[in-house]
Each structure stands twice: as C-alpha cells, then as structure tokens.
Amino acid sequence: MENKALQSLVQGISLEYFNKPFLHQAVFNNRLRTTGGRYMLQNHNIEISMKQFEAYGEEAIIDIIKHELVHYHLHIEGKGYKHRDRDFKQLAQQVGAPRFCNPLPDAHFKYLYRCKRCNNEFPRKRRRSIHKYRCKCGGQLKEILN
C-alpha cells in the first residue's frame, strides 16, 4: 500500500464512521516503532506505521486509523482529544477504535537454542551458556543459530 491508497482509506473511514471529511494528509512513517500511528497537532496530519501494516495487514491499520481520527476530529472541534478525556473515550467507544495497537513481533534475535528432549525453541538476543541453562522439561539446549 502506498501513501495515495492510505490517504483514500483514511478519507473513506472518516466519512463512514465519523460522517465528517478528513481534510489533511495521511502518510506512512517507517520510523514509528512503539506506536501504530500518530496525530500531529501542529499540522493535523496523521502518520501510520508501515511496520504495523507489514506485520498485521489492513485490518490492524483500519483500527489505528480510527483511533487517530478520534484524536483528529475532537481536536478540530475543540473538545477533549487526549486519551484521558471523557470525549475521547466516548467517541472511541462509539466508532470501535481500540486504545492500543498490537505490539510488533520482535524478529531481532541473534541466537536460537533448541531443547534436545522436547524440541522447544528459545530465541535470544544475548548468548546463553548451554551448560548453565536448561529447558523447562529439564532437557539440554543445543545452539542452532549464531
């Protein structure tokens, strides 16, 4: 999905769920890691995490867009647009916007260990001593990736 398709998706969701037009820009931001999207107060634009789209698909992006549009429409109307505000909670519940997005899967492990007894795998960022640590079943670990 490109920024043009995202823009039309955001405009469609805005009209469908809020009955109000989205008059600003929506773009993907590859640098967003801990959040699914972000509403910019200064210019009223919305940024969506490309990593969320790659990991979970269009359904997750739709939920994130709804959440950010709640911020957008409430801020433009001069109502409480922050997470703790009553207006935000009510509108988010009406449109079915979730409070949080799914966490990104952590695929940045460097080491992989497998139990010799039950074949359970343990991805790790740091190296572990296979002589010191064992599986939950008590089996010995074998280093697979290095």
Asked if 68 is an active-site residue, the reply is: yes
Residue 141 makes CB contacts below 8 A (sequence gap 6+) with: 113, 114, 115, 116, 122, 128, 130, 133, 134, 135
CA 113 to chain CA centroid, nearest Å: 28
Orientation of helix 58-77 relative to helix 86-95, angle to 10°: 140
Catalytic residue among 16, 58, 59, 68: 68
**C-alpha to C-alpha distance for 90 and 81, rounded to whole angstroms:** 11
Query: What amino acid positions are annotated as catalytic residues?
Result: 68
